[in-house]
Amino acid sequence: MPEAEVLYSDIKFKKARGKTDVATPSTDEHTYSEVKTSKAQRPAEQPASNRRSGVTSERVALLVLSVLLAAAVTALGVTLYENTQTKKSLQKSLQKLQDEAKNLTEILSKTKAYKVEQPCQPPSVREQTCPRCEDGWEPHGGKLYFFSSFTLSWNESRRQCKSMRGDLVVINSREEQRFLQTTVREKMDKAENEFWIGLTDSKKEGEWLWVDDTRLNASLTFWREGEPNNWNENCVTMWEKDEVTNLKTWFDQSCKSSKKSICEKTESWIRLSSSPQPLSQTEA
């Protein structure tokens, strides 16, 4: 509360004048100075409005902190959700890449025969020749031969040979049959391995034709004893793990069976010093 003040006005006291025989001094007048009295100052009390203002400010601050905390929690939740979705997406992408890599590996394993052409070294000094061949192809008698390491049906094997600019082998001599038989024995990792050759009677039963449409020479056949038995078997393989002196290693088989194969193609020869001499074909 405001300071209380009491004000007293000037007060004068005078004596009454009377007759007297005794001379008296001049009339005395007494004057009292201004007197002020003050009550002890009390501590000022804080207005109620100020108290209410303080409480309201605290509530506002608490509310703001609560809102900020809620926003932080929400942001954290959104971030965690997005990270989870990103992780799932990356896992799916990784799985897809692994599947594609697996498929590519399988394709490459089936097409490993396709390689860049490289010049071969001369087979011998005596022949004075050098064929241009591809990795996996073996030169012999002016031709190149490819012995597959994977199995396909007869038709699939022929398409595979054509894709390498060749075809299934056509056997024209005993010397060629001997070379093929010897090489097949070396490449057979199992006794039951069989290799397709380019002979079939699928166009007409009993009429055996090579893939170049020439008829099978009856005097130049190498059927195993009891073959062909014609049990719906219209394509021919050759196989024999043991050495056969009479070269008879042909069997008729179902064209749909999965077998290895022998591809063949001609290749130009590079002259080194003299023209190569043609190989003689000796009939037994």
Does 13 map to a domain?
no
Does 228 map to a domain?
yes
Does 189 map to a domain?
yes
Scanning 5-137, the segments in alpha helix (DSSP H) are 48-110
pLDDT at 17: 53
Residue 156, Ramachandran bin (φ over 0: left; ψ between -120 and 50: alpha; else beta)? alpha
- Phi, psi for 236 (deg, rounded to 5): -120, 135
Q: 10-35 b/e with 16+ CB inside 10 Å = b?
A: eeeeeeeeeeeeeeeeeeeeeeeeee
3-class SS of residue 50: helix
pLDDT at 92: 86
pTM value is 0.50
3-state secondary structure 174-193: HHHHHHHHHHHHHHCCCCCC
Looking at the 3D structure of the chain, how many domains does it have?
1
pLDDT at 159: 97
Q: Residues 236, 250: contact at Cβ < 8 Å?
A: yes
Does 144 map to a domain?
yes
Does 202 map to a domain?
yes
Domain harbouring 213, CATH code: 3.10.100.10
Does 262 map to a domain?
yes
Q: Which residue has the tokens 């001379």?
A: 23
Whole-number Å distance between alpha carbons of 66 and 59: 10
| Residue range(s) defining the domain that contains residue 233 | 124-271
Q: Residues 72, 64: contact at Cβ < 8 Å?
A: no
Does 95 map to a domain?
no
Q: Are strands 250-253 and 11-14 parallel, antiparallel or unpaired?
A: unpaired
Does 245 map to a domain?
yes
Q: Which residues of the chain have pLDDT under 50?
A: 1, 19-27, 35, 37-40, 113-132, 269-284
Q: Is the backbone peptide bond immediately before 228 cis, with ω within 30 degrees of 0?
A: yes
pLDDT at 14: 54
